[in-house]
Structure formats: C-alpha cells, structure tokens
Amino acid sequence: MLALEKEGILIPSLCRSGECSMCRVKIVSGKVFQPAGVPVRKSDRKYGYVHSCVSYPLEDLEIVI
C-alpha cells in the first residue's frame, strides 16, 4: 500500500493491519511478501487477492484495484 501511495494511488483502507479486507487488490502478475499470520480468506488466496496494507512487492506487479 505504501508503494502505491507513494505513486499517488490511494486504496480505500480502514484498519491498515490486515484485519478488515477493505484494501484488497487482485494480483494479476508478480509476487508479494505477506508476513506470517496475516489473516487472508481461503477464497481470497485461491483467487489471488491480497490485503495491500500488509503486502510488500517483491517485483513489479500488475494488480486490479
């Protein structure tokens, strides 16, 4: 999320700690690091969604906001 905000792209957010799902984005290509213990729904994981507030890009990403 910070990388997006630095580029002027604002994602709706509430908790900024991985709890509320408000900041979900879909990863189309590329990888992110998510610290252990980040609560992500099984369906989100299955379909490639992450909580952008607790995801850190490991490479260039293509995402759907």
Q: Which two tokens stand for residue 64?
A: 């759907």
Binding segment for ligand FES among 2-10, 21-29, 40-48, 56-64 (CB under 6 A)?
21-29
Strands, E, within the chain: which ranges? 24-29, 32-33, 49-51, 56-57, 62-64
Binding segment for ligand FES among 2-10, 17-25, 27-35, 57-65 (CB under 6 A)?
17-25
For ligand FES, the binding residue among 2, 3, 9, 15 (CB under 6 A) is 15
Kind plus residue range of the DSSP H or E element containing 42: helix 42-47
13 binds ligand FES (CB under 6 A): yes
